[in-house]
A and B are shown apart, each in its own frame.
Chain A
Amino acid sequence: MDAILDLRGVTKSFGAVRALRGVDFDVRAGEVHALVGENGAGKSTLVKIITGAHAPDTGTVNIGGQALDRADPLLARRLGVAPIYQQPTLFPELSVAENLAFGLETGSAWRRIDWRARRARAKSLLERVGAQVDPDADAGSLRMAEQQLVEIARALGAKARVIIMDEPTASLAETEAERLLALVAELRASGVAIVYISHRLPEVLRLSDRVTVLRDGAAVETRPAAGLTQADLIRAMVGRDLDAVFPKRDVPIGDALLSARGLRCRAAGVHGVDLDVRAGEIVGLAGLVGSGRTELARVLFGLTPADGGELRVRGQALAVQSPAAAIRGGLAYVPEDRRRHGVILEMSVGVNATLAVLRAIRSGPFLDAAREREIAGTFVTRFAIKAPSLDTPVANLSGGNQQKVALARWLATRPSVLILDEPTQGVDVGAKAEIHRLIVDLAAEGLAILMISSEMPEILGMSDRIAVMRGGTIVGTLDRAAATQERLLALALGHVEAAAS
């Protein structure tokens, strides 16, 4: 049978990052084709190309024999592509029937709405997906699983030929997930082509006809699911050479500066976290996207204060109710998404570098401009921050230099514990190496460093120990010597045997 969705030689780059390198990928009618890969392997980019959010740099996308030759989500939809995401994208304030009407009803903006027909169609679509949902209920009042069913109903109503499911079961309970999987099987039987993306490997193997493994933007393997094992998949996902050289040095390890026992926070979805980070030690925090790494960092730093468990910094019990309290206790946190919260773009290098130490640059109630320039100047020199002057707005700096300013800000507070969230995300290779060297130097000075990273080589190359998170808690800790890509990924995926081997 011919493929309904057919990608040939698709490449896509974002700046210097090559997200996809010549990917071939096709799905036939009545087939479930799973797509697996690590964080950053290129799954999201591939989905965005199929849904018309991005146009490929080279290569072709064919849907039902017609070319999707530009970034045009509307065209993709008209050709029969319907994406379903982990977080449903319904309008929460509108009713289920109204949500289902979007994209299904056509005509002028001034047409009269036939509410009776709208409701009737909603009812029949909901029945087809087996959803016990009132069409007049607000979409926002539905449970996550129900919202997903509504999305699938919408896809069916649009006569979708290709349904893309991106981690559809990630936020569902066991029984809800089972029902969804049964529905996927029904959809397949009715001749829909399904692209299925999931980190739950047992699910992937059970459900899909074929599996494609993406690694570093390339489709390394496309095989029938029958006969594959989880271990096969994990091997294919990580089969990468660790060619990058990291400046990691062995330094004397001291006492635990950060120590958590049974730490939990309902709001952040973090529970039962036991973690020690010692002076001079770099602990990597690994896990898949959504495993709770950033959430844990935010709990440690008081952004979403813990509601149970114990936290000790420098041996002192500390109730971290706010970032201000965390800073006083000796913690520092360089957040992910530097452009939003790591630095304040319109403020100058000098102001940004000293923003966390306003207390230190005060004489009486007044800011001491000379002291500010002295502190900021020290870090500019020490970190080799390339900025025309201390008065330059941080917005005018390169990504790597912005990140160094964010680091400088926190080191100025003379912390004991430094939490880094994706410290080298979006910086170029040269700056990356410099930041790695800085991190190692800081550990050598006796800081305890907790480093979150989605980059496997970075985690493996920089950490003394690696704590792996899954489902909001730490599921295992590996020593540097024992850590391999396969073990890490197996732990992160919850595949126990491979982790033990």
Chain B
Amino acid sequence: MTRGLGRYRRELGVAAALAVLLALLAVKAPAFFAAANLRDLLVANAPVLVAAVGMTLVVLARQIDISIGSQFAICGVAAGLLAKTGLPMPFVTIGVVAAGAGLGAINGALVAGLGLPAIVVTLATMVVLREGLRWRTEGVWIQDLPERFQWFGLGQAGGRTAIVVAALVVFAAFAWGLRRLAAGRAVYAAGSDPEAARLVGIHPRRVVFAAFVFMGALTGLSAVLTAIQFIDVQTSAGAGLEMKVIAAVVVGGVAISGGRGTLVGTLLGVTLLGTIGPALTFLGTQAYWERALQGAVILLAVSTDALPSLVRTRGGA
């Protein structure tokens, strides 16, 4: 039993931290648990979760993608422009997801095809995509969107439900796939030890390419789920998204060296980091502590990884 739980030590740790935070809120600021507030929180974090699912794949495959903020901005603009052509929303969504997949494929081709380091490739595409978008749109927001754009035309209540449901469906599908599909296992194997994976007939490069494509597609979906919450599309959207998402993935226990971690951990990471900001407001602390506290949480989470091995080496000497 202990062994079974030991493998999910990080997930349990983050869950415990979340529980403490919620308990604190329950005592000090019960207003936090008002239905409206919780709903706002869910809706605001649903798109983050979708992008974090993609990032989990990328990090599990021993890669990283810091260009998703720029991809997100482009996809948001694409969603607005497609909607203005009169295309029905389901097709708009499909089109944007495909566009995101295309952007991801560029990263994937450069990293997997040419063997360039992911951090450099995506740093470059981050800047190029962001500046390219600024050049095309000259920073002008996409306005006068059709009626059926905001909230998928379902009205605020229905639209919000749709956003949360969509995020949870994506999460569940990928969580299940990573555990239950041969492709999911190939991601773990390729990230854990590419050479060993190659020896068993897995193609690590294809895995890496696919991870980036999924990352792009999910960023596209995330952008749609965000854009429809507003009456117009900001061309500067998505700045800093990569940091938020990578932080959530790392806090959730996905090893940055690849091959280790779960989507449940990512869900917990998104929830914890997404709760800290609003919680501070409710606890009457200045909101600008949010980032500092998030940084502290990341450091704490990563340090707990080093702890057992430290103890072991000290003990063994």
Q: How far is the CA of A323 from the CA of B198 in the complex (A)?
A: 7
Q: Select which of A324, A359, A388 is within 8 A of B182 by beta carbon.
A: A359
Chain A residues whose CB sits within 8 angstroms of the CB of B4 once the complex forms: 391
Cα distance A301–B195 when bound, in Å? Answer: 13
Q: Does A351 contact B (CB under 8 A)?
A: yes
| Cα distance A224–B15 in the bound complex, in angstroms | 73
Does A199 belong to the interface (CB within 8 Å)?
A: no
Known: A344-B193, A367-B180. A351 touches B199 (CB 8 A): no
Measured CA separation A189–B202 after assembly (Å): 57
Stretch of B88-96, B184-192, B210-218 contacting A (4+ beta carbons < 8 Å) = B184-192
Q: Are B181 and A324 in contact (CB under 8 A)?
A: no
CB-based nearest A residue for B200: A356
Contact partners of B76 in chain A: CB under 8 A: none
Whether, in the assembled complex, B3 has its beta carbon less than 8 Å from a beta carbon of chain A, the answer is: yes
- B198 — which chain A residues lie within 8 A by C-beta? 303, 322-323
Question: Nearest chain-A residue to B183 (Cβ)?
Answer: A365
How far, in angstroms, from A346 to B7 measured CA to CA in the complex? 10
A366 to B195, CA, bound (A): 25
B-chain residues with CB within 8 Å of residue A324 when the two chains form the complex: 201-203
| A392 and B3 within 8 A (CB) | yes
Known: A355-B185, A365-B181, A388-B3. A346 touches B192 (CB 8 A): yes
Q: Is the CB of B192 within 8 A of A362?
A: no
Residue ID in chain B nearest A355 by CB atoms: B200
A366 and B181 contact, CB distance less than 8 A: yes
Which residues on A sit within 8 Å (CB–CB) of B189? 344, 347, 355
The smallest C-beta distance from A378 to any residue of chain B, in angstroms, reads 18
Which residue of A343, A356, A361, A393 contacts B201 across the interface (Cβ within 8 Å)? Answer: A356
In the assembled complex, the Cα of A497 lies from the Cα of B182 at a distance in Å of 55
Which chain A positions have C-beta within 8 A of B3? 388-389, 391-392
Answer yes or no: A240 CB below 8 A from chain B CBs.
no
Which A371-392 residues have C-beta < 8 A from chain B?
A: 388-389, 391-392
Would you call B196 an interface residue if the criterion is a C-beta within 8 Å of the partner chain's C-beta atoms? yes
- Residues of chain A lying within 8 A (CB to CB) of residue B202: 324
Which of B185, B199, B260 is close to A333, meaning CB atoms less than 8 Å apart? B199
Number of interface residues of B (CB under 8 A): 26
A409 at the interface (CB under 8 A from B): yes
* A367 in contact with B196 (CB, 8 Å): no
**Taking CB as reference atom, which chain B residue is nearest A334?**
B199
Task: Judge whether B259 is part of the interface by a CB distance below 8 angstroms.
Answer: yes
Q: Which residue from chain B places its CB closest to the CB of A365 in the assembled complex?
A: B181
Are B182 and A358 in touch, CB under 8 angstroms?
A: yes
Interface flag for A341 (CB, 8 Å) = yes
Query: Bound state CA distance, A328 and B201, in angstroms?
Result: 9
Task: Indicate whether A111 reaches chain B with its CB closer than 8 angstroms.
Answer: no
Within 8 A of A (CB), among B1-50: 3-4, 7
CB-based contact A351/B196 at 8 Å: no
User: In the bound complex, what is the Cα–Cα distance between A81 and B309 (angstroms)?
Assistant: 35
A384 to B53, CA, bound (A): 40
Residues of B within 8 A of A347 (CB): 188-189, 192
Known A-B contacts A358-B185, A359-B182, A362-B182; A323 and B199 likewise in contact (beta carbons under 8 Å): yes
- Look across to chain B and name the residue whose beta carbon is closest to the beta carbon of A389: B3
Q: Are A346 and B199 in contact (CB under 8 A)?
A: no
Over the window 303-329 of chain A, the binary record of Cβ atoms lying under 8 Å from chain B Cβ atoms (1 yes, 0 no) is: 100000000000000000011101110
Task: Tell me the bound Cα distance from A340 to B196 in angstroms.
Answer: 7
Q: Which chain A residues border B199 with CB–CB below 8 Å?
A: 301, 303, 323, 333, 335, 341
- Residues in B lying within 8 Å of A, measured CB to CB: 3-4, 7, 179-186, 188-189, 192-193, 195-203, 259-260
- In the assembled complex, 25 residue pairs joining A and B whose CB atoms fall closer than 8 Å, in A order, are A303-B198, A303-B199, A322-B201, A323-B198, A323-B201, A328-B201, A335-B199, A340-B193, A341-B195, A341-B196, A341-B199, A343-B196, A344-B193, A344-B196, A344-B197, A346-B259, A346-B260, A347-B188, A356-B200, A367-B179, A367-B180, A367-B184, A369-B180, A391-B3, A392-B3
Apart from A303-B199, A344-B259, A355-B189: 13 A-B pairs, beta carbons within 8 A: A323-B199, A323-B200, A323-B201, A327-B200, A344-B193, A346-B260, A347-B188, A347-B189, A351-B185, A365-B181, A365-B183, A367-B182, A409-B200
